[in-house]
Amino acid sequence: MDTDGFTPWPADLEARYTAEGYWSDRVLGGVLRGDPARVALVAGDDRLTYADLSRRASRTAAGLLRLGIARGDRVVVQLPNTTGFVVTFLALVRIGAAPVLALPAHRESEIRYLCELSGARAYVCAERDGDFDYRAMARTLPVEHVIVDGDAEEFTPLASLDADPVEIEGPAPSDVGVFLLSGGTTGLPKLIPRTHRDYVYNLEASAEVCGFTRDTVYLVVLPAAHNFALACPGVLGVFATGGTVVLSPSGSPDEAFPLIERERATVCAVVPPIALLWLDAVTWQDEDLSSLELLQVGGAKFAAERAAEVPRVLGCQVQQVFGMAEGLLNYTRLDDPRDLVERTQGRPLSPADEIRVVDPDGAQVAPGEVGELLTRGPYTLRGYYRAPEHNARSFTPDGFYRTGDLVRRLPSGHLIVEGREKDQINRGGDKVSAEELENHLLTHPAIHDAAVVGLPDPMMGERTCAFLILRKGEKAPDLREIKDFLRGRGLAAYKFPDRLETADAFPRTPVGKISKKALAARLPG
Ligand code: OOB
């Protein structure tokens, strides 16, 4: 069955997940469960208690309803780590209108597509990101309403969506609560529908595994719109356990460290490049980080040697997190032996997560051997939104999601990420679909063919190299020119190549596909 592009779980699993208590009637709009008088959110000059934040969300929800946004609608949200993001998210999920969570770095190429694919009624954005004016982009988008957090020009100011709270019917727990973005392996980004009940389970179970309590002070340095910082356990996991969320504009030590010191932050989630930066920065910055108890590191592989340094250098516990917007989350546990914490990427969050590690023919490999990770469970999607062809490839007939990650499973159930089968570059946690970038490059007049590969990088893990075959008689464009070209096409900057190489021909595999392994091997590094 496929309801408006959303593939539900089959009835037997739905019954099981409900009977065994993984799924409840709780919905995302009810996630603010802290003591009304305690501080829920610190952002810039704002310091909001649970009562304040709940009131703001209710008033904004009423304002959105008055504008005509209703249960079942989709709204593309592109906001940085601000009070506006948190309030907008909470207001939308209360109504049962699903936020489509774009990242602040996305540009017209991504945003236009997300609006079209989701059939969004509205787009919510900030004024600008540095030199980039979101409002100028918004003028061309196919949405009825543009809502701006800040100076809205001709659009609707977010602050004007403020009305006396009204009775809201609200969504069903089985409704789609939020759309997350897939890292992408194809020419176009994919949308991941997450239901209220699966995402509530995701964030509550994560909060439990990570030991969150009302005393947790969680510093957000990754984009709050990313699954890791939003619900693993993230902002929402903190709200569900009554702690305090502190928003930082970035993970840069000169912004994050003073916030840790001032707010006495206890937990933070970072990608490996930020962790490496912090390990260095403590030597020249003198803020007091002694409140920090746990550093979650995920999004890309974190080397064992570096994981071992975290307790010594930053004075806190380290936790490896191997997750995906599609669902499955693996965490090293707080009481795991040091060796597992340092050398593995954790084990599945839920007893109901089903894991298979398979060879290219789909047969399970021997225990401890490397294979592709397939998974199914109470918070892993059963299909991308409105993508039937892609779904036919991305899932097994019995509903396992093909992650494209190569892993090894230890007897304890812990997974070690050994590589990747999917055509994607993991640039320090930012995911770049090779095909998406190649398609953009192919529109350049001098380029005949393009192949994008990841090259090892000590800081980022990988960086992006585009191999180009030029049209006859064309001069090779330089990196600067290619970046300007891609910027002109409205592609997010993190997807730009870091390096260009020209080739006369691409090496092929026996079946005739471009061998990216052989291409990458052409370069010394
Ligand atoms: C997180 O989510 P996405 O959707 O941006 O990316 C998922 C992909 C995984 O399939 C894997 O290829 C890679 O990112 N990945 C890791 C990793 N964590 C993610 N590869 C190696 N080691 C790790 N620890 O990245 C994400 C979502 C929720 C929590 C944490 C990360």
Residue nearest to atom 16 of ligand 1 (CA): 300
Task: Select from 322, 408, 494 the residue to mutate for testing ligand 1; criterion: most ligand atoms less than 8 Å from CB.
Answer: 322
Q: pLDDT digit string (tens) for 195-204?
A: 999 999 999 9
In whole angstroms, what is the distance from residue 8 CA to residue 174 CA?
9
Residue 351 has pLDDT above 90, yes or no: yes
Cα–Cα distances in Å, from 209 out to 218, 331, 335?
15, 8, 10
Which amino acid does the sequence have at 398? D
What's the residue count for the chain? 525
For residue 117, give both structure tokens. Answer: 């694919």
| Binding site membership of 228 for ligand 1 (Cβ less than 6 Å) | yes
What is the distance in A from the centroid of ligand 1 to the CA of 300? 6
- H or E element at residue 443: none
Query: Is any atom of ligand 1 closer than 6 Å to the C-beta of 232?
Result: yes
What value does the mean pLDDT of the chain take?
A: 97
DSSP state of 311: H
Q: Region 360-369: what's the mean pLDDT?
A: 96
Q: How far is CA 170 from CA 84, 91, 314, in A?
A: 21, 11, 44
Please compute the mean of the pLDDT values over residues 196-213 and round it to a whole number: 98
- Residue 524 is predicted with a pLDDT of 77
Distance of CA 433 from the midpoint of ligand 1 (Å): 14
Q: Is the CB of 207 under 6 A from ligand 1?
A: no
Instruction: From 213, 182, 363, 217, select the one nearest 290 (Cα to Cα).
Output: 217
Does residue 426 have its Cβ closer than 6 Å to ligand 1? yes
Backbone angles phi, psi at 435, to 5 degrees: -65, -40
Q: Which atom of ligand 1 is nearest to the CA of 269?
A: 30
Nearest Cα to Cα of residue 426 among 360, 494, 373, 485: 494
Q: Is residue 135 within 8 Å of residue 148, measured between CB atoms?
A: yes
Amino acid at 418: E
| C-beta 417 within 6 A of ligand 1 | yes
Confidence of residue 525 (pLDDT cuts 50, 70, 90): low
The CATH code for residues 11-409 is 3.40.50.12780
Tokens of 509: 């595999």
Does ligand 1 come within 6 angstroms of the Cβ of 183? yes
Confirm or reject: Cβ of 323 under 6 Å from ligand 1. yes
Structure tokens given for 151: 């100076």
Distance (Å, rounded) from C-alpha 468 to C-alpha 84? 42
d(CA 295, CA 255): 17
Decide if 171 contacts 193 (C-beta within 8 A): no
Give phi and psi for 42, each to the nearest 5. Answer: -120, 120
Ligand 1 centre distance from Cα of residue 60 (Å): 33
The mean-pLDDT minimum among 43-57, 98-112, 488-502, 509-523 falls in 509-523
Q: Do 118 and 179 contact (CB within 8 A), yes or no?
A: yes
What is the 425 CA–ligand 1 centroid distance (Å)?
Answer: 12
- The alpha carbon of 298 and the centre of ligand 1 are apart by a number of angstroms equal to 6
Going from the Cα of 477 to the center of ligand 1, the distance in angstroms, rounded, reads 33
* Structural element, H or E, at residue 206: helix 196-209
Give the model's pLDDT for residue 3. Answer: 61
Which of 220, 228, 301, 324 most suits a substitution to test ligand 1, by most atoms within 8 Å of the C-beta?
324
Residues 6+ apart with CB under 8 A from 485: 444, 477
Mean pLDDT of 230-252: 98
Strands 217-220 and 244-247: parallel
| Residue 194 near residue 326, CB atoms below 8 Å | no
**pLDDT class for 1, splitting at 50, 70, 90?**
very low
Q: CB of 64 within 8 A of CB of 49?
A: no
How far is the centre of ligand 1, averaged over its atoms, from the C-alpha of 432 (Å)? 12
Pocket flag, ligand 1, residue 299 (CB < 6 Å): yes
Domain formed by 426-521, architecture: 2-Layer Sandwich (3.30)
Residue whose CA lies nearest to ligand 1 atom number 20: 300
Give this prediction's pTM.
0.98
Return d(Cα 469, Cα 503) in angstroms, integer.
5
Nearest atom in ligand 1 to the alpha carbon of residue 297 is: 24
| Residue ranges of domains in the chain | 11-409, 426-521
Count of CA atoms in the C-beta half-sphere (13 A) of 124: 30
Beta bridge partners of 157: 148
Residue 428 CA to ligand 1 centre (angstroms): 10
Query: Is residue 431 in contact with ligand 1, taking CB distance under 6 Å?
Result: yes
Q: How far is the CA of 299 from the centre of ligand 1 (A)?
A: 4
Q: What are 263-282's pLDDT values in tens digits?
A: 999 999 999 999 999 999 99
Ligand 1 mean position to 301 CA, how many Å? 8
Provide DSSP, 222-277: S-TTSHHHHHSSHHHHHHHHT-EEEE-S---HHHHHHHHHHHT--EEEE-HHHHHH
pLDDT exceeds cutoff 90 at 23? yes
Say if residues 358 and 371 touch (Cβ distance below 8 Å).
yes
